[in-house]
Amino acid sequence: MRLLPVVARVGTPLAAPDTLAAPMRTVDRVAAVLAAEPDATPAQVAARLGVSERTARRYLPADKMPSRRRQSSRAPAMATG
């Protein structure tokens, strides 16, 4: 028969490791890049984080987004005269 050691129960909780923190979310990573480089373009942010430009654009604040080009398929307004 094998005897197991007796463990005293004194009420001390088991120590949980502090390294179980969740990894940074993409939105936080984008914000960190923009804090370091405020004038970074979406392409630069994407390259720095190793994500696609589309992903970087998704998490950029509205004031950092470049304006969209006008669609050329749109018909010009007709002049009345």
Most confident of 11-15, 19-23, 56-60, 63-67: 56-60
CA angle 39, 45, 48 (to 5 degrees): 125
Look at 17-21, 42-46, 60-64 and tell me which has the smallest mean pLDDT: 17-21
Element (H, E) at 32: helix 26-36
Spatial CB neighbours of 65, under 8 Å, sequence gap ≥ 6 = 42, 57
Instruction: Answer whether residue 46 shows pLDDT above 50.
Output: yes
pLDDT for the residue numbered 71: 47
